[in-house]
Amino acid sequence: MVERADSGAVAAETPVVPGVGKRRRGWVLAGVAVVLGGVLGFHRLVPNWPGRVGSLMESFLPWGGALVVVLLVVALVRRSAVALVALLLPVGVWVDTFGGLLLPGEEGGGRELVVVQHNVSDENRDPAGTARALADSGADLVALEELVDPQLAVYEKALAADYPHHVVRGTVGLWSKHPLSGEQVVDIKPRSIEVGWSRGLRAVVRSPYGDVAAYVAHLPSVRVGVGGLASQRRDESAALLGRAIAGESVEPVILLGDLNGVVEDRGLRPLTSQLALAENGFAFSFPAAFPMARIDQVMARSATVGHIRTLPATGSDHLPVVARVTLE
């Protein structure tokens, strides 16, 4: 007699296949690695809307290397071979894009100018100390932004001995060890900003190696909010500055300024498309308390910008950056 199965019996459990969960997690990590590599390598294809998301992502692009390290640690903990292989993609892209900045750079040649760029902050409580620190750099040119009264008079007095030549237009200025000529305002004011806003200048430096057109600029600030990155004014100002530099007749050209953007940011393409960038060094300059990005830039045309680095903190919320520019 065949016994009937007990209707209340518990159904047999589905057998568990060892390692299936780990393999799935490995493929997820591999997918994330491939996406990260694609973003690093093809960030220009990321749409800039809504909220200028492309520019926002590009502002922190070098930090993609930190994400690679995190994924590597997780892949090692999971012992996922497929994830480790996939990580070769973002590692290769990051090294190709930013690896050269880690190199020490070559020794400077004979036709060289040392330049310093610094947003000194209009709230700087120690302008005299800031000026002394900048003079101690031994730079040929010092570009400053956010020059306001009464601090401006302090900078002029403190820098006079080392830099007998200087020009100030609006809130930006240039101090030089070499004679200056052709000083003029460069109009980079966006249409939506009131009259009286002046943050651009141009002067010809009579260097020992010939004339050099020097530009100093402070582009409008950007803000990150719930709507994304507000950079319309900065982008418009960058376009105006790019147009002025494109029409410059004196060569070489050196641009120093707080551009409120990193060189990867597409909003600065009117400048980065025609000027050479620093070949070595990250020189994250902002914020001074915990630098996350270099928004203080040194660029050049008919010249090479060598190693760029930061100087110790001053009374500003920016760090000064110093670079060697070799003239062609």
pLDDT per residue over 50-87, tens digit each? 878 888 889 889 999 999 999 999 999 989 999 999 99
Confirm if 157 and 132 have CB atoms less than 8 A apart: no
The strands making up 172-176's β-sheet, listed across from edge to edge, are 165-169, 172-176, 141-145, 112-119, 321-327, 303-310
201: tokens are 């200048």
For position 143, what pLDDT does the model report?
98
Confirm if 97 and 44 have CB atoms less than 8 A apart: no
What is the C-alpha to C-alpha distance for residues 211 and 182, in angstroms, rounded to an integer? 11
User: Is the model's pLDDT at 19 over the cut of 90?
Assistant: no
pLDDT per residue over 218-255, tens digit each? 999 998 876 778 899 999 999 999 999 999 999 999 99
Measured in degrees and rounded to the nearest 5, phi and psi for residue 226 equal: -65, -25
What is the C-alpha to C-alpha distance for residues 102 and 122, in angstroms, rounded to an integer? 33
Average pLDDT score, the chain = 91
What is the C-alpha to C-alpha distance for residues 186 and 165, in angstroms, rounded to an integer? 19
For position 22, what pLDDT does the model report?
58
20 or 282: which leads in pLDDT:
282
The arithmetic mean of pLDDT across residues 112-126, rounded, is 98
User: Residue 195 in 3-state DSSP?
Assistant: coil
Tally the C-alpha atoms within 13 A of residue 248's C-alpha that lie toward its C-beta.
Answer: 31
Q: Could you tell me which residues come within 8 angstroms of residue 51 by beta carbon, excluding any fewer than 6 positions away?
A: 227, 228, 229
* 0.75 surpassed by pTM: yes
With residue 223 as reference, give the H or E element that holds it. strand 223-225
What is the C-alpha to C-alpha distance for residues 57 and 39, in angstroms, rounded to an integer? 9
For position 293, what pLDDT does the model report?
96
